Amino acid sequence: MDKIPTHVAIIMDGNGRWAGERGLARSHGHRQGVKRAEEIINAASRMGVKVLTLFAFSTENWSRPKREVGMLMRLLYNFLAGRAEKLQNRNIRFRMIGRKENLPRYLSDKLENFQAKTAGNTGMTVVLAFNYGGRQEIMDAAGKYALDVLKNGAVSSGLDEERFGGYLYTSGIPDPDLLIRTSGEMRLSNFMLWQLSYCELYFTKTFWPDFGAKEFEKALKSYALRQRRFGSL
C-alpha cells in the first residue's frame, strides 16, 4: 500500500451492543474490545503507522452506571499491568491524553508510570484517550495559555494555530489523517474536535469487538484512495 496514514485515530464503539446481541453482559464486550485493541496495535505497527490513537473513555462516559465505569477503569489497569512488557518489547511509546485528575489514584499512577517507562521508545506511539473530551481539551488549553500570558508574559498577538496546538493534550503529535469509528454511529462524540479539522473519516457498521486486522487494512485501503485537498485545488 503506498499511502499509509501517519496518524490513525479510532473511536472504538459498539462493545455493549456486540455483547447484547449474544445475550452477554456488556462487560464481555469490553473485555473482547481490549483484545481487539491489542490486535489493532500490532497491525498498525506492522503496517508502518506512526501514531495510533484509541478513544477508550470519554468525559461523558462517567454518566454510565457506576459498575460499568469501575469495570472500564479496572480493565485499563489490568491491560497496562499485564501487557506492559509486550508493548515495551515492541518498542511502542505510550501516551495518555485526557484529564488524569478525576481518575482513581491506582489508575493515574499506573498511566503515569507506563508513560514514563516507554518514553524512550522509538517505535509507534499509542495515544490512549481516556477521560478525554474535546471541548475540555480546548478549554484546558485556553486556561494554560491565559496563565502563560499572565505569569510569563506570553504575547497574545503572537497566537497562531501551531502555538495554540502546543497547549493541547496532543502537543507534539501530528493531527490524525484517518479517523475510524466502528458500530455504525456517525458522530464525533466530543473526540479531538481541534485535531480532526481536516481528517479523513471512515465509518463501519462492524462492532469494535469484531474489528480485526483485515477490517483495519480495508480502512487503510479506503484512505489510500482519497484525494486530500485541504481547501486547495
Shortest CB 12 distance to Mg ion, Å? 9
**61 has catalytic annotation:** yes
Shortest CB 57 distance to ligand IPE, Å? 5
Shortest CB 225 distance to Mg ion, Å? 28
Residue nearest Mg ion (C-beta atom):
13
- Within residues 58-87, the interface with ligand IPE by CB under 6 A covers 58, 61, 72
Q: Does 179 bind ligand IPE (CB under 6 A)?
A: no
Q: Would you say 225 and 209 are in contact if contact means Cβ atoms under 8 Å apart?
A: no
Q: Would you say 196 and 179 are in contact if contact means Cβ atoms under 8 Å apart?
A: yes
Angle of helix 66-89 versus helix 26-47 axis, rounded to 10: 30
- Within residues 5-64, the interface with Mg ion by CB under 5 A covers 13
Answer for which of 11, 111, 179, 192 binds ligand IPE (CB under 6 A) is: 11
The strand pair at 178-181 and 125-132 is best described as unpaired
Q: Which is nearer to ligand IPE, 91 or 102 (CB)?
A: 102
Exposed / middle / buried, residue 222 (Cβ in 10 Å: 0-12, 13-18, 19+): middle
**13 has catalytic annotation:** yes
Provide the Cα torsion 26, 30, 33, 37; round to 10°: 160
Q: Which residues bind ligand IPE (CB under 6 A)?
A: 11-17, 55-58, 61, 72, 183, 185, 187, 189
